[in-house]
Amino acid sequence: MRLKSSLIMASMATLLSGAAFAEEMTFGYIPNNMAFPYNVALVDGFSKRAAEKGVKVVVLDSRMSMEAQANQIDDLLLQKVNAIGFMPNDSVAVMSLVDKVVEAGVPIVATAVSVGDPAANPLDYVYPGLNALVTTNDVEAGRVAGRLAVDLLPKDRKVKIGVVEGAPGFAVVKQRQDGFEEVLKEAGIDYEIVSSQPSDWTAESGEAICQNMLTATPDIDLIHSHADPMSVGCARALDAVGSKAFLVDSGGGSSLGMALVAAGESEGSACNAPFLLGELSFDVLYEAVTDPANAKKGQYISPEMVAVVPGNTNGCAPW
Span 245-288, pLDDT tens digits: 999 999 999 999 999 999 999 999 999 999 999 999 999 999 99
Question: Residue 303: its pLDDT value, please?
Answer: 94
pLDDT band at 314 (very low <50, low <70, confident <90, very high): confident
User: pLDDT digit string (tens) for 154-175?
Assistant: 999 999 999 999 999 888 899 9
- Tell me, yes or no, whether 40 lies in a domain: yes
Asked if 145 and 109 sit in the same domain, the reply is: no
Other CB atoms within a 10 A radius of the CB of residue 32 amount to: 28
DSSP 136: -
Asked if 265 and 280 sit in the same domain, the reply is: no
- Tell me, yes or no, whether 22 lies in a domain: yes
Partners of residue 274 on adjacent β-strands: none
User: pLDDT digit string (tens) for 64-110?
Assistant: 999 999 999 999 999 999 999 999 999 999 999 999 999 999 999 99
Asked if 19 and 119 sit in the same domain, the reply is: yes
Burial class from Cβ neighbours inside 10 Å (0-12, 13-18, 19+) for residue 26 reads: middle
Asked if 265 and 283 sit in the same domain, the reply is: no
Distance CA 29, CA 57 (A): 7
Mean pLDDT of the region 131-137: 97
Dihedral of CA 211/216/222/226: which sign? negative
User: pLDDT digit string (tens) for 170-204?
Assistant: 888 999 999 999 999 999 999 999 999 999 999 99
- Tell me, yes or no, whether 312 lies in a domain: no
Asked if 121 and 26 sit in the same domain, the reply is: yes
CB 91 within 8 A of CB 115: yes
Question: Residue 5: its pLDDT value, please?
Answer: 45
Confidence (pTM): 0.81
Asked if 25 and 148 sit in the same domain, the reply is: no
Asked if 204 and 296 sit in the same domain, the reply is: no
User: pLDDT digit string (tens) for 18-42?
Assistant: 444 545 899 999 999 999 889 999 9
Question: Residue 80: its pLDDT value, please?
Answer: 98
- Tell me, yes or no, whether 118 lies in a domain: yes
User: pLDDT digit string (tens) for 57-77?
Assistant: 999 999 999 999 999 999 999
CB 65 within 8 A of CB 200: no
Asked if 226 and 288 sit in the same domain, the reply is: no
Side by side, the strands of the sheet bearing 222-225 are 191-198, 159-165, 222-225, 246-252, 268-271, 307-308
- Tell me, yes or no, whether 32 lies in a domain: yes
Asked if 199 and 240 sit in the same domain, the reply is: yes
User: pLDDT digit string (tens) for 220-239?
Assistant: 999 999 999 999 999 999 99
pLDDT at residue 2 is higher than 50: no
Question: Residue 171: its pLDDT value, please?
Answer: 83
Question: Residue 1: its pLDDT value, please?
Answer: 44
Domain boundary residue, one of 231, 248, 272: 272
Asked if 189 and 93 sit in the same domain, the reply is: no
What's the distance, CA 219 to chain centroid? 32
pLDDT at residue 17 is higher than 60: no
Distance CA 253, CA 317 (A): 7
Other CB atoms within a 10 A radius of the CB of residue 168 amount to: 10
Asked if 132 and 6 sit in the same domain, the reply is: yes
What's the distance, CA 104 to chain centroid? 26
Question: For a pLDDT cut of 70, what percent of the chain falls above it?
Answer: 93
- Tell me, yes or no, whether 316 lies in a domain: no
Question: Residue 169: its pLDDT value, please?
Answer: 82
Rounded to the nearest 10 degrees, how much is the dihedral formed by the CA atoms of 251, 256, 257, 259?
Answer: 160
Q: What is the CA radius of gyration of the chain?
A: 22
Side by side, the strands of the sheet bearing 108-111 are 56-59, 26-30, 83-86, 108-111, 132-134, 299-301
CB 226 within 8 A of CB 199: yes
Asked if 186 and 173 sit in the same domain, the reply is: yes
* Whole-number Cα distances in Å, 243 to 101, 165, 239, 247: 50, 20, 6, 11
> For residue 112, what are the domain limits?
2-136+274-304
User: Total domain count for the chain?
Assistant: 2
Question: Residue 23: its pLDDT value, please?
Answer: 55
Question: Residue 317: its pLDDT value, please?
Answer: 86
- Tell me, yes or no, whether 313 lies in a domain: no
Distance CA 48, CA 30 (A): 16
What end-to-end distance do the CA atoms of the chain give, in Å?
A: 55
Backbone angles phi, psi at 317, to 5 degrees: -85, 120
Q: The domain spanning residue 12 has which CATH number?
A: 3.40.50.2300
- Tell me, yes or no, whether 311 lies in a domain: no
